[in-house]
């Protein structure tokens, strides 16, 4: 949940009015497999699932692949902005293998009432990415908690340069069957885009104003050390090891001796 944590931290660092929130305008899930596509536009969940029969070389179906659209007509995004897509999972079921959710951009010439042929045309860019196994065109989330977050900054900039909408397809990837149920927009906790300026930071001052004063005080304290020790040594007739060291003008700075030697 690294991106989600970063998102929360950035929101705190920026004024509330600098964070733009866009909720999904359209969301459905489709079923892909066995040479047919089924559209589920009347569902309480956005199902993101993969079915693996036997080993992965045999048969893989995607009974649930969420398709989400956002209206970005009023958005002004710059190169310094960060855009995060967040989704909340109501439930997750998986077997022994971990599950990853991949996100890809698709065309936006569809709505919730579109038929499966329309979706086939619009998901063609994502399908080509899947066939090529092009990880550079995917965003992914593998944390496994209930909040999924994806960095879509560049995808959003590219889409805004072309038009007023952006759409995504989600796909579950695993070596065994897995199922994630995301909350849809009708729930009030559906897919959401959050855009904000990258937070500015002020470097810490490398040198403190009183550094010179502290250094001089330390020097004065060190110079007093031989005098105090000599006064103590005068009370005995046998020279100590420390006196011998001081006679050679080798006064170690406190703590430095241990840092340069190993302790046996």
Same domain, 234 and 193: no
Same domain, 100 and 224: no
Radius of gyration of the chain, Cα coordinates, nearest whole angstrom: 31
Same domain, 29 and 142: yes
In a domain, 203, yes or no: no
Specify whether the CB–CB gap between 170 and 27 falls below 8 A.
Answer: no
Task: Name the residue with higher pLDDT: 110 or 239.
Answer: 110
Same domain, 219 and 147: no
Among 150, 173, 197, identify where a domain stops: 197
**Domain span holding position 239:** 211-255
- 130: CB partners within 8 A, 6+ apart: 104, 171
For position 201, what pLDDT does the model report?
76
Same domain, 142 and 104: yes
Q: Report the pLDDT averaged over residues 220-236.
A: 48
In a domain, 205, yes or no: no
Lowest mean pLDDT segment, chosen from 3-17, 33-47, 67-81, 167-181? 3-17
Domain count, the chain: 2
For position 240, what pLDDT does the model report?
52
In a domain, 141, yes or no: yes
Task: Tell me how far CA of residue 252 lies from CA of 103, 154, 226, 247, 248, in angstroms.
Answer: 60, 56, 11, 13, 12
Task: Name the residue with higher pLDDT: 256 or 165.
Answer: 165
In a domain, 261, yes or no: no
Same domain, 247 and 172: no
For position 217, what pLDDT does the model report?
44
Task: Name the residue with higher pLDDT: 108 or 236.
Answer: 108
pLDDT by residue (tens digit) across 84-138?
Answer: 999 999 999 988 888 889 999 999 999 999 998 999 899 888 877 776 666 666 6
Same domain, 165 and 249: no
pLDDT by residue (tens digit) across 138-193?
Answer: 677 766 678 999 999 999 999 999 999 999 999 998 888 999 999 999 999 999 99
In a domain, 262, yes or no: no
Same domain, 146 and 237: no
Same domain, 101 and 230: no
Residue 54 has pLDDT above 80, yes or no: no
Task: Name the residue with higher pLDDT: 75 or 12.
Answer: 75
Q: How far apart are CA 61 and CA 48, in angstroms?
A: 11
In a domain, 148, yes or no: yes
Same domain, 138 and 186: yes
Same domain, 235 and 193: no
In a domain, 204, yes or no: no
pLDDT band at 252 (very low <50, low <70, confident <90, very high): very low
In a domain, 110, yes or no: yes
For position 80, what pLDDT does the model report?
92
For position 17, what pLDDT does the model report?
67
For position 195, what pLDDT does the model report?
95
Same domain, 121 and 220: no
Among 148, 163, 197, identify where a domain stops: 197
pLDDT by residue (tens digit) across 189-214?
Answer: 999 999 999 888 777 655 555 554 45
For position 50, what pLDDT does the model report?
92
For position 260, what pLDDT does the model report?
40
Among 154, 173, 197, identify where a domain stops: 197
Please give the share of the chain, as a percent, with pLDDT higher than 70.
63
């Amino acid at each position: 949940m690294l991106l989600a944590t970063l998102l929360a931290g950035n929101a705190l660092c920026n004024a509330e009015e600098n964070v733009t929130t866009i909720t999904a305008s359209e969301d459905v899930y489709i079923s892909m497999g066995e040479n047919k596509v089924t559209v589920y536009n009347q569902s309480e969940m956005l199902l993101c699932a993969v079915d693996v029969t036997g080993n992965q070389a045999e048969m893989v179906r995607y009974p649930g692949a969420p398709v989400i659209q956002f209206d970005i007509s009023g958005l002004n995004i710059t190169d310094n902005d960060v855009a995060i897509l967040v989704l909340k999972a109501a439930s997750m079921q998986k077997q022994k293998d971990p599950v990853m959710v991949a996100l890809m951009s698709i065309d936006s010439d569809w709505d919730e009432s579109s038929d499966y042929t329309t979706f086939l045309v619009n998901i063609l860019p994502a399908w080509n990415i899947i066939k090529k196994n092009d990880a550079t065109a995917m965003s992914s989330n593998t944390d496994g908690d209930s909040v999924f977050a994806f960095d879509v900054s560049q995808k959003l900039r590219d889409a805004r340069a072309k038009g007023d909408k952006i759409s995504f397809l989600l796909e579950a990837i695993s070596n065994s069957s897995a199922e994630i149920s995301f909350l849809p927009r009708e729930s009030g906790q559906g897919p959401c885009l959050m855009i904000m300026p990258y937070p500015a930071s002020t470097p810490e001052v490398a040198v403190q104003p009183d550094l010179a004063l502290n250094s001089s005080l330390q020097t004065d304290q060190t110079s007093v050390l031989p005098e105090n020790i000599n006064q103590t040594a005068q009370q005995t007739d046998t020279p100590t090891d420390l006196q011998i060291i001081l006679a050679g003008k080798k006064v170690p700075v406190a703590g430095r001796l241990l840092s340069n030697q190993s302790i046996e």
